[in-house]
Amino acid sequence: MVAQLDLFSRNEELEEIATADLKYLLLPALLGALIMKQTSRDKRLEIVQTARDYFMDFLRRCREYNISQFKLPNPTNANTSPDNASENGNSEAKSVPCSSDLVSMGAQRQAKIERYRQKKLLEARLSDMRRAVDSGQADDEVSRDFYLLNVQRWITVCLEEIESIDQEVEILGKMDVLRQCPVKQPIRPSHHPIKPFILTKDAVQAQVFGAGYPSLPTMTVDDWYEQHRKHGALPDQGIPRKVAAKEDTDVQEMEEEEKEKKAENDDEESLLKARNWDDWKDTHRKGYGNRQNMG
């Protein structure tokens, strides 16, 4: 309907467009954004190319009316078309960038930063003016500024979308090339399992004769002591050695004192036992009856 009514013409200026008609400048951009939301895998290349045409139509119209200063992208995606993608598929995957490429990459990065900054400023101004326009209280000048700011915001959106579309078209073209020329899996030669073999003579000798004793030690004496000390399994653990030695000496002293007291008191039983022990030692030499624990 916009095309049939000829609302926009190349022979007129921006000031000649009515305020109520400015919002229809966004139709190609909105159509392109709507088409990009389609998710058909089989027709993805056709979808992105159609959306790019809508975005380019919107940018050309904005450039004709001189709404904003920007560089118009290439009308056709020559560098990332499917034909060129198939030709590049057989070439090297990576190339060394020259100095001119680095300069262009730096300029593209700076342009993206500037577009992002302008987009944020436009969105902030639009959020302030949207309430007055939606409520119908805005006059003609405020409404006109609101529509023009919205058009400028969509200019930055379309430029970003075209860059992403160009990259996606290149990827889709390479995917088509890979589908047409499937990569053959290399045939791996079959190998028979290798029998284990001994590297040293000592290993064979150890398997035949062993180590010379039933089993190998699993820990040292220090490790065994530390393990038992941690678990509290040592007999003298928790008892100081000095205290234990002192207790032994005290017991011996007490026994000797008791013997002396019994001797002083002329205990008949202790005297008889001592005399018998002396008589036995007189008739038996030292070590008598020791069979070396052989019974």
Predicted confidence (pLDDT) per residue in 174-224, tens digit: 887 777 776 666 777 666 666 665 556 666 666 666 655 566 667 888 888
Amino acid at 217: P
Among 25-34, 203-212, 231-240, 245-254, name the most confident range: 25-34
CA 141 centroid distance within chain: 53
Reading the block at residue 116, the tokens are 């992002």
Identify the pLDDT of residue 210: 61
pLDDT of residue 98 exceeding 90, the answer is no
CA distances from 92 to 44, 89, 169, 216 (A): 26, 8, 19, 62
Whole-angstrom distance, CA of residue 110 vs CA of residue 250: 95
Q: What is the DSSP letter of 68?
A: S
By CB atoms closer than 10 A (0-12, 13-18, 19+), residue 54 is buried
Which secondary structure element, helix H or strand E, spans residue 31, and what is its range? helix 27-36
> Domain 2-72+101-180 is classified in which CATH homologous superfamily?
TAP42-like family (1.25.40.540)
If you average pLDDT over every residue of the chain, what do you get?
77
Whole-angstrom distance, CA of residue 80 vs CA of residue 52: 13
Inter-residue contact 129 to 147 (CB < 8 Å): no
- pLDDT tens per residue, range 15-73: 888 888 888 999 999 999 999 998 888 888 899 999 999 999 999 998 888 888 888 88
Identify the pLDDT of residue 32: 93
Inter-residue contact 138 to 129 (CB < 8 Å): yes
Whole-angstrom distance, CA of residue 5 vs CA of residue 8: 9
Which regions of the chain does DSSP assign to beta strands (E)? none
pLDDT-derived band at 240 (thresholds 50, 70, 90) equals: low
pLDDT-derived band at 291 (thresholds 50, 70, 90) equals: low
Q: What is the DSSP string of 206-236?
A: HHHH-SSSS---SS-HHHHHHHHHHHT--TT
Helices 268-283, 241-264: inter-axial angle, 10-degree rounding: 100
